[in-house]
Structure 1
Amino acid sequence: MKGYRRYITLVVLLFGGLILLDYFRPKPVDWTRTFSSKDKIPYGTYALLELLPGIFENAPIQAVQQPIFNQLQDSTLQGNYIFINQTFNADSLDTDRLLDFVKRGNYVFIAAESFSDNFTDTLRFQTKLLNTTDPDSTGLYFKNPALQGVYRYPPNNNTIYLLAGDSLKYTRLGGNKAGKMNFMELPFGRGSFFISTVPLSFSNYALLTIDQSEYAASALSHLPVAPVLWDQYQSQGMSGGNTSVFSVLLSHEALSWAYYVALLTVILFLLFKSKRTQRIIPIIEPPRNTTLEFVNVIGNLYYNNGNHKDIAEKKITYFLEHLRLHYHVATSEPEEEMRGRVVTKSGAAEELVTRIFNLIESIRRSDSLGEQTLLMLNTYLEDFYEQTLSKPEGSK
């Protein structure tokens, strides 16, 4: 455990040092174009959402965090549906819902630099990129004489403009200094679509940093004062989205780096400590079968002492046990029946079996035994074992 403490201490020190380093270092500006109302970065829309109550006085403002099709299933909804995003995505079902919503006398305001093909094909308009090096060409203005003035932005920002079909009934509401339209109204039924290609003009950067909040307020003032549906789904996703531990870790740069450093440390620890540090496990050999050696020793002991009778008795006992174990012959039954069963089940020659049992009977009646008789018994038994060794039990 003492060896591990050094690694644990090193990990803790690295983790703490990384957090302190990230805490005290200057934070770089995040220029990601999220257009999210919860982001205070330059291209979020936090400031615009805060300004909406002043633009739509006394009108309720509802944040929408679900797809268009789901939100507009309620056919009684009324008011303004506002979308501010880099790309406006709407499939055929979403587009049909929006058309029904506008047809009933409602209004949809969309500010985006690109639109899904299904949506543009249905409303019959296109977007194009303005190719120019003139920094004044991206200055924006409104067509309405009451909204005079040019709103200037950094060069090459807001360079997307609109092209409407020849048969399309639309109203040009705004353009840029290059003479291209970037804001229009498309009447449909009793309501209208308001299409803008300058979403950056509605960002925190435009409203706060370069103090051009009047453009966003003027553009939204084309909508009537009515309940507002503020879309957050296309910029933030479904409500109650992924809030797992890993998503929280990876959403903060400092925690992400700390997580990766800790993970790398664990991997290095496993690589360098993967070898076993315990003692070498000795190889345990299986126990040897010394039964045969024991039998030979005991046999030699009896033979050397000249006790042939005892040796013969033990061989006979082993032979009878062999018959009971391998051929299931009851050695207590009459001798004639037992001989027949042994011949039948063992497959040994009948003459050999007869000799063995005759010799066993003779040995049991005698008080002593000579060496020749013992050798004869041993020969008969060895012949019996040899004859029955290669034959299955119970076959002839």
Structure 2
Amino acid sequence: MTKPKEINWFPSFATHHKIPFGSFVFNEQLERLSNELVRAERPPFEYLNDNDISGTYLFYNGEVQFGKPELERLLEWTSKGNTLVVSSMVFEQKLLDTLNLKTRSISNFDHFTDTYQVQLANPNLNNGITYKFDRPTTFYHFNKIDTLNTKVLGFIDKYDEENTKINDSLINVVSQPFGKGNIILSTFPQSFTNYFILQSPNQDYTAALLSYIDLDKPIYIDAHYKSGKKIYTSPMYLFLNTKSLKWAYYIVLIGVLIYIIFEGKRKQRAIPIVRPHRNQTLDFTRTISNMYYEKGKHLDIAQHKIQYFLEYIRDNMHLSTAEINDTFIKNLAARSNNSIEETRSLFELIKNINNSTNINQTQLERLNTLIEQFKSNNQWKTKA
């Protein structure tokens, strides 16, 4: 916890990273210089299709590989008068073929003390100054260009520990018109990183590269093709990537484990299961009703059912059943979600049964059916 934190040399190129190879400083300065700066989180193919934009689209990363449809969409957008800037050590092969370019790598594995120094081709921007970069083991340059259409913007030189130039100047930044627009390619994406910009006077080199784009127009910085882009693969990302929260999480887990171990040793007498007494009212009712039914006392059963039904109306519909008239039937139909005709038909049957001295099985079954249908239409109210 107290020892110094190791430097993270991961080649992130992400605008939110303050590590050496992040681009927080560049993004902060570009926000100050540009009139409109937009961070494009989505793939460029989707972003260009969903947004009508113009200006400069800036890509920089250790490797930028477009698919064929995406590259064609970018080139189409560029040809309309926009600027495409791609700074990468590895380019899309189709992009190089389209611009008639080839790249090659050089390495300092045999001479670890050697350093790379970059410079600009324009004398108004150069002033004879070279800018050092001492971190890479491999550097890329353009070994073939289309001399008729390509404009050289920058070079790279290799120097030994005595600051003696080892090789000829190698091209590392080029510009080429494309339709009404312009394409700028650089094999030195490290020029946008915190490590390079904060080593004076290297910031002048990055500023000079920006002079080739129109800062008055919107600039769209790609955040999709970034090695260090934000990726959340787990809900525990916040806990496990913050040291204090991570240890708090581990302590909670350890505490729960200790609690389970010691609390599990406690003995507790088993609590007997007390089963509730069975409600036999329904069984008794069924027995009595079957007895009446088997003896053919249909009228008695119907009268009991009518009395129960009227009680049901008083309890659930809150209507008095002392007088059955048209007003009662209309109110009951409205409250029970039944039609007036259905309600009237039911009570006419009830009236006929009450006035009869004897009924048959068919009349009893019809009474039961109409009452059950009446209740079923009212279920949505009685449930509440």
Which TM-score band (shorter chain)?
A: 0.5 to 0.7
Q: Distance in 1 between matches of 2:232 and 2:38?
A: 22
Gaps of at least 5 residues in structure 2 are: 158-166, 271-384
> Are 2:30 and 1:39 equivalent residues in the alignment?
no
Q: Which residue identity lines up with residue 52 of structure 1 in the other structure?
A: L
Q: Distance in 2 between matches of 1:91 and 1:155?
A: 30
Cα distance change on mapping 1:217 and 1:157 into 2, 3 Å: farther
Relative to the length of structure 2, the TM-score reads 0.57
Contact 2:99–2:146, Cα closer than 8 Å, also in 1: no
Q: Counterpart in 1 of 2:132?
A: 152
Contact 1:66–1:238, Cα closer than 8 Å, also in 2: no
Cα distance change on mapping 1:265 and 1:130 into 2, 3 Å: farther
Q: Which residue identity lines up with residue 174 of structure 1 in the other structure?
A: G
Q: Counterpart in 2 of 1:195?
A: 185
Shift of 1:233: 1.8
> Are 2:67 and 1:91 equivalent residues in the alignment?
yes
Q: What value does the CA root-mean-square deviation take over the aligned residues?
A: 3.3
Cα distance change on mapping 1:86 and 1:156 into 2, 3 Å: closer
Q: Counterpart in 1 of 2:194?
A: 204
The more displaced of 251-260 and 219-228 is 251-260
Query: Residue 108 of structure 1 is aligned with which of 84, 99, 103?
Result: 84
SS at match of 2:132: coil
Shift of 1:110: 1.4
> Are 2:141 and 1:161 equivalent residues in the alignment?
yes
Q: Distance in 2 between matches of 1:237 and 1:31?
A: 11
Q: Counterpart in 1 of 2:241?
A: 251
Relative to the length of structure 1, the TM-score reads 0.56
Shift of 1:120: 3.4
Contact 2:131–2:201, Cα closer than 8 Å, also in 1: no
- Identity, % of aligned positions: 26
SS at match of 1:159: strand
Shift of 1:125: 2.9
Query: Residue 183 of structure 1 is aligned with which of 169, 173, 176?
Result: 173
Q: Counterpart in 2 of 1:172?
A: 152
SS at match of 1:152: strand
Contact 1:107–1:223, Cα closer than 8 Å, also in 2: yes
Contact 1:138–1:158, Cα closer than 8 Å, also in 2: no
Q: Distance in 1 between matches of 2:239 and 2:148?
A: 49
Q: Which residue identity lines up with residue 134 of structure 2 in the other structure?
A: P
Q: Counterpart in 1 of 2:41?
A: 65
Q: Counterpart in 2 of 1:232?
A: 223
**Per-residue deviation, residues 153-196 of structure 1 (Å, max 9, x unmatched):** 21646722123355873111111124111111122101111111
Greater fraction of residues in strand: 2
Shift of 1:250: 3.1
Q: Distance in 2 between matches of 1:208 and 1:183?
A: 21
1:292-371 maps to which residues of 2 (within 5 A)?
A: none
Contact 1:158–1:197, Cα closer than 8 Å, also in 2: no
Cα distance change on mapping 1:197 and 1:212 into 2, 3 Å: same
Q: Distance in 1 between matches of 2:94 and 2:253?
A: 45
Cα distance change on mapping 1:236 and 1:159 into 2, 3 Å: closer
Contact 2:107–2:137, Cα closer than 8 Å, also in 1: no
Q: Counterpart in 2 of 1:51?
A: 29
> Are 2:56 and 1:80 equivalent residues in the alignment?
yes
Q: Distance in 2 between matches of 1:274 and 1:123?
A: 73
Contact 1:91–1:119, Cα closer than 8 Å, also in 2: no
Contact 1:88–1:112, Cα closer than 8 Å, also in 2: yes
**Per-residue deviation, residues 312-362 of structure 1 (Å, max 9, x unmatched):** xxxxxxxxxxxxxxxxxxxxxxxxxxxxxxxxxxxxxxxxxxxxxxxxxxx
Cα distance change on mapping 1:122 and 1:254 into 2, 3 Å: farther
SS at match of 2:4: coil
Cα distance change on mapping 1:156 and 1:49 into 2, 3 Å: closer
Q: Which residue identity lines up with residue 181 of structure 1 in the other structure?
A: I
Q: Distance in 2 between matches of 1:114 and 1:124?
A: 15
Contact 1:158–1:200, Cα closer than 8 Å, also in 2: no
SS at match of 1:182: strand
Rg: which structure is higher?
1
Shift of 1:257: 5.7
SS at match of 1:69: helix
Cα distance change on mapping 1:260 and 1:86 into 2, 3 Å: farther
SS at match of 1:205: helix
Q: Distance in 2 between matches of 1:261 and 1:101?
A: 54
Shift of 1:246: 1.3
